[in-house]
Amino acid sequence: MHITNLISQYFGKFAKNEFPKVIQKFINACYVKFMGLNMSEFKHSRYYKSLNDLFTRELIIKREIDETVDSIISPTDSLITECGELKEDIALQIKGMQYSVEELLTYYCTSNFEKIKNGSFMNFYLSPKDYHRYHAPCDFKLLKLIHVPGKLYPVNLKYLNKELELFVQNERVILECENNGKIFYMVFVGALNVGQMVFEFENRVETNKDTKEIKVYTYDNIEISKGDCLGYFKMGSTVVMLWEKDSVQIENLLNQNIRFGQKIGNIKI
């Protein structure tokens, strides 16, 4: 097991531990203050029983989302670190740092490689202060989930600028989705201290375990609506979205902080 996975496992044990109330309230308050969390849409920090509970907090004030039929909304609260068009199958993890989409998606997505070439992509970086749940960017049919074990390098800007093919090296969960007959992918990338990625529709996924086996789950009848909660990171990380060529028109949001529910593009109908 790589050292980054071991560090994440130990941090995960600390984060899920429920300390005596007085101590936990102090830990939570310190985390909120140190990281600069905006808790206006959530319960007060004193009500969370562990750091994990705080990290994975649910909204108590319903977030407004763009309900336009052909709109695509942001699945997360995050910073857009890169976006644009693929060059054949090459995407950017950050300016000047490339990686192969085929390597990211693995050979289990081979049948769609030609469709994705010269398509569109967008990278969403969730910092430790962000809301950590991820949602459906549009109505879609879920076709496949692929869990790829790997390392857990940090995915902050410093590491994106120095670690080659970071997204390809790290553990990830890939969702293969279909909207109006067009394919798109959501890739959830693990990171240091993100010991687990949880998916509410698939309890068989167990991340940051001592395994090298890729696991694939296929589905016939899972329909998901725009805005539905898909799951959550246990701390911050990154989501990569990839769309089939000529299927969407994404907005140029490079280096902008965006919120779940905000429009990021349109589906070409």
Which DSSP letter does residue 204 get? T
Residue 59 burial class via C-beta count within 10 angstroms: exposed 0-12, middle 13-18, buried 19 and up: middle
Catalytic annotation, pick one of 130, 135, 147, 247: 135
> Which residue bears the tokens 């600069």?
36
The residues facing 189 across adjacent strands are 172, 238
Q: Check if 77 is active-site.
A: yes
162 Cβ neighbours under 8 A, 6+ residues apart: none
Question: Quick check: is 247 catalytic?
Answer: no
Nearest CA among 204, 91, 92, 101 for reference residue 146: 204
* CA-to-CA separations, 217 to 57, 120, 173, 174, 201, in angstroms, rounded: 27, 25, 11, 10, 11
Among 8, 74, 237, 247, the one annotated catalytic: 237
Q: Of residues 77, 89, 130, 247, which has the active-site annotation? A: 77
> Cα dist. 48→26, 31, 269 in Å?
11, 12, 44
Of 159, 183, 172, 170, which Cα lies nearest the Cα of 246? 183
Backbone angles phi, psi at 13, to 5 degrees: -65, -40
Residues with Cβ < 8 Å from 151, sequence gap 6 or more? 2, 4, 5, 169, 170, 171
Tell me if 86 sits within 8 A of 121, measured CB to CB.
yes
Which residues carry out catalysis? 77, 135, 237
